[in-house]
C-alpha cells in the first residue's frame, strides 16, 4: 500500500488530495506448504508428460504456483516436488511465470515472492557434497569456470543422517537423499531466475573443483542437473509416478452375488461436469472417456477391449472399452455451470475361466473440447490444456448413495491479481470527479442564507466555498 500525493484540478478550483490506492484484488498466500510423496509430485502444464514438453501460451508449470499475476507470496514451503514440466520459458522450480506490471521501482518480483519462500532439491549423493554452487562463467563446452557462490540455505540428509544431519534438520518423509534448501528470490541470492540453475554444481568444496584436494580431502563436484531445459526442471530423481486419479470400484452389498442374477449385477454412474472457466471460452460440447480395468491373478492391471453391460431387463450388450460419452449444455439447465448425465448398466465384476472373481474399476478422463455444432461447417477440437483449462476428477457417492464422477474444468490456478487494479483506480477517480461536480452544483444554486454562494453565476465566477 503506497501513498500517492498529487493535486487534482477540478473544473473550478484546486483541491490538494492524498490518495491511498489499495490493490484490492491481489491474492496473498502465506505460511502455506505443499508436500509430495516419496517419489515426489510432478507438475505438468500445457499438455506436458513425463516424456514430452508442453506447448501453448498457457503451458505454465511451477512447484508451488504455476502463474502468479501480481500475487503476494510469503513464508511458504514446498517439499518433495520432482519433475516440473511445461512450455518452454513458462517453467520454474517455485513459480512458473510471474507477471508484474508496475511503474514503481519498489514493486518488484523479488518484493512479492522473495520473502521466506523455500523450495528443496534432493539428490542421491554423499552428504559431504554440501555446497550448491551457481555458475558465474562457463567455457565454450558449458563447463563452469567461476562460481557466484553457494545458493543453498543448508544441505542436510533428509533422514537426519550424515555429518550435518540431526533430528531437527530431517524432512517429514526422512528419505535417504541429500536435501538442498533454497530460499526463492531471497535478498542477495545467487539464483535470481530459473536459468541461473542451468550450470549449477554440487560439491564438497566452495571452489566447485573436481580435481585436487581441500584440507587433505579429495575435491568432488557433480552437475546438479536441476535445470534440464527451459521447459523442464527436476528437483528430485525424475521418477515417473503412476497416474492415480482414484477411480470407482463399486462393490455390491455384503451377501449379494457380485455378478448378480444371471450375471447382471450392475451400477449406474452419474457424470457431473463443473465449469469454473472465468474468462475462458466454454465449448459447445465435450467428449469424456470411461475406462474399465481389473486386476488379474498376477496383480497386473488389465484394460479389456470390451465389457458386457446390461439393460434393465438384464439383456447383455457389449460396449467398447474405453467408451466415449459426449456432454453438452443440453445436459444442464440454462445458464448453469454444471452438466449432468447418467451411464447405466455398468457391470460390477466378472468371473474368469477359472472362476476367479475380478471387480471392475472405472476411471473418467476428459478427451477433448468441441467448439461448434456437428452441423457447422467449421468445428474446432481442442485438448483441455490447449483451451487453457486444468482438469480434475473426483469420485464418490451423493447423498442418496449413487456413484458420481465429478469432472471440473478450471482456469489455470493460481492466477493471482490481474488488471482489476486499473479499474479500481479508474472508479476512484470517477467517484472523485462526481463528488466535485455535485459539490460545485450544490454551491451554485443554494442561497447565501443556507451557506451557499448566493449566486447562479456560471462556473468560474466564484471558486470553492465562501463563508460569510
pLDDT per residue as tens digits for the range 196-228:
999 999 999 999 999 999 999 999 999 999 999
Q: Give mean pLDDT, residues 356-380.
A: 88
Grouping H, G, I as helix, E, B as strand and the rest as coil, residue 155 is strand
Q: Where are the domains of the chain?
A: 1-25+418-468, 29-234, 261-410
Question: Does residue 422 sit in helix, strand or coil?
Answer: helix
Residue 273 host element (H or E): strand 266-276
What does the pLDDT read at residue 136? 93
Beta bridge partners of 232: 85, 229
Scan for cell 557462490, then name that residue: 149
Residues 311 and 317: beta-carbon distance below 8 Å:
yes
pLDDT the model gives residue 69:
86
Encode pLDDT of 372-383 as tens digits: 987 777 899 998
Percent of the chain beyond pLDDT 70? Answer: 76
Contacts of 460 (CB under 8 A, 6+ apart): 12
Q: Collapsing DSSP states into helix, strand and coil, what is residue 443?
A: helix
More confident site: 168 or 272? 272
Identify the band that residue 1 occupies on the pLDDT scale cut at 50, 70 and 90. Answer: very low
Q: Record the pTM.
A: 0.55
Q: What is the mean pLDDT of residues 174-201?
A: 92
**273 - beta bridge partners?**
339, 407
Tens of pLDDT, residue by residue over 303-313, are: 999 998 887 77
What pLDDT was estimated at residue 96? 93
CB distance 87 to 105 below 8 Å: no
Average pLDDT taken over every residue of the chain: 79
Residue closest to 229 by CA, chosen among 82, 326, 92: 92
Angle ∠(117,198,212) on CA atoms, nearest 5 = 105
Helices and strands, counts by H and E, the chain: 2, 36
Torsion of CA 348, 351, 357, 362, to 10 degrees: -30
Q: What is the pLDDT of residues 73-82, one digit of tens each?
A: 999 999 999 9
The count of other CB atoms within 10 Å of the CB of residue 371 is: 16
The predicted pLDDT at position 311 comes to 78
Strand partners for 33: 77
Gap between the Cα atoms of 320 and 259, Å rounded: 20
The full DSSP string for 14-61 is EEEEEEEE--TT--EEES-EEE--TT-EEEE-TT-BTTB---STT--E
Dihedral angle, C-alpha 87, 88, 91, 93, nearest 10 °: 130
H or E stretch covering 66? strand 65-69
CB 118 within 8 A of CB 35: no
255-272, pLDDT tens digit by residue? 455 666 656 688 899 999
User: pLDDT at residue 102 above 80?
Assistant: no
Is the CB of residue 373 less than 8 Å from the CB of residue 284? yes
Contact 454, 447 (CB under 8 A): yes
Q: What length is written for the chain?
A: 468
Q: Characterize the bridge pairing of strands 28-30 and 72-74.
A: parallel
How confident is the model at residue 10, as a pLDDT?
35
Q: Which residue has the cell 528443496?
A: 120
Higher-confidence position of 441 and 280: 280
Higher-confidence residue of 336 and 328: namely 328
Amino acid at each position: 500500500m503506497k501513498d500517492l500525493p498529487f493535486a487534482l484540478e477540478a473544473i473550478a478550483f484546486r483541491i490538494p488530495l492524498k490518495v491511498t490506492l489499495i490493490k484490492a484484488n491481489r491474492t496473498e498466500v502465506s505460511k502455506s506448504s505443499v508436500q509430495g510423496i516419496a517419489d515426489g509430485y510432478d507438475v505438468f502444464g500445457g499438455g506436458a508428460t513425463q516424456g514430452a514438453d508442453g506447448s501453448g501460451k498457457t503451458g505454465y508449470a511451477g512447484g508451488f504456483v504455476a502463474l502468479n499475476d501480481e500475487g503476494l507470496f510469503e513464508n511458504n514451503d514446498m517439499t518433495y516436488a520432482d519433475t516440473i514440466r511445461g512450455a518452454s520459458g513458462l517453467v520454474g522450480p517455485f513459480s512458473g511465470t510471474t507477471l508484474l506490471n508496475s511503474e514503481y521501482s519498489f514493486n518488484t518480483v523479488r518484493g512479492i515472492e522473495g520473502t521466506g519462500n523455500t523450495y528443496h532439491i534432493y539428490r542421491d549423493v554423499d552428504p559431504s557434497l554440501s555446497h550448491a554452487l551457481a555458475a558465474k562463467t562457463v567455457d565454450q563446452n558449458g563447463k563452469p569456470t567461476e562460481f557466484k557462490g553457494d545458493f543453498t540455505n543448508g544441505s542436510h540428509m533428509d533422514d537426519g543422517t550424515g555429518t550435518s544431519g540431526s533430528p531437527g534438520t530431517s524432512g517429514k518423509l526422512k528419505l535417504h537423499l541429500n536435501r538442498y534448501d533454497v530460499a526463492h528470490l531471497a535478498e542477495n541470492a545467487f539464483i535470481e531466475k530459473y536459468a541461473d540453475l542451468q550450470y549449477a554444481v554440487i560439491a564438497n568444496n566452495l571452489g566447485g573443483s573436481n580435481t585436487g584436494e581441500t584440507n587433505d580431502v579429495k575435491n568432488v563436484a557433480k552437475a546438479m542437473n536441476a535445470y534440464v531445459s527451459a521447459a523442464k526442471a527436476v528437483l528430485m530423481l525424475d521418477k515417473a509416478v503412476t497416474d492415480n486419479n482414484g477411480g470407482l470400484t463399486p462393490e455390491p452389498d455384503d451377501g449379494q452375488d457380485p455378478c448378480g442374477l444371471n450375471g447382471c449385477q450392475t451400477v449406474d454412474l452419474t457424470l457431473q461436469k463443473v465449469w469454473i472457466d472465468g474468462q475462458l471460452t466454454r465449448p459447445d460440447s465435450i467428449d469424456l472417456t470411461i475406462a474399465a480395468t481389473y486386476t488379474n491373478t498376477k496383480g497386473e492391471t488389465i484394460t479389456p477391449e470390451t465389457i458386457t453391460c446390461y439393460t434393465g431387463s438384464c439383456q447383455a450388450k457389449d460396449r467398447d472399452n474405453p467408451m466415449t460419452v459426449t456432454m453438452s449444455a443440453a445436459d444442464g439447465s440454462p445458464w448453469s455451470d454444471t452438466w449432468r448425465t447418467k451411464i447405466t448398466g455398468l457391470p460390477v465384476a466378472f468371473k474368469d475361466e477359472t472362476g476367479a472373481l475380478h471387480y471392475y474399476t472405472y476411471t473418467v478422463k476428459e478427451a477433448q473440447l468441441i467448439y461448434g455444432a456437428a452441423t457447422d461447417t467449421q468445428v474446432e477440437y481442442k485438448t483441455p490444456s490447449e483451451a487453457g483449462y486444468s482438469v480434475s476428477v473426483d469420485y464418490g457417492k451423493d447423498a442418496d448413495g449413487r456413484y458420481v464422477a465429478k469432472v471440473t474444468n478450471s482456469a489455470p490456478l493460481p492466477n493471482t491479481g490481474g488488471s482489476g487494479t486499473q479499474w479500481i483506480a479508474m472508479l476512484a477517480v470517477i467517484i472523485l470527479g462526481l463528488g466535485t461536480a455535485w459539490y460545485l452544483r450544490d454551491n451554485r444554486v443554494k442561497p447565501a442564507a443556507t451557506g451557499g454562494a448566493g449566486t447562479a453565476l456560471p462556473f468560474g465566477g466564484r471558486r470553492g466555498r465562501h463563508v460569510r
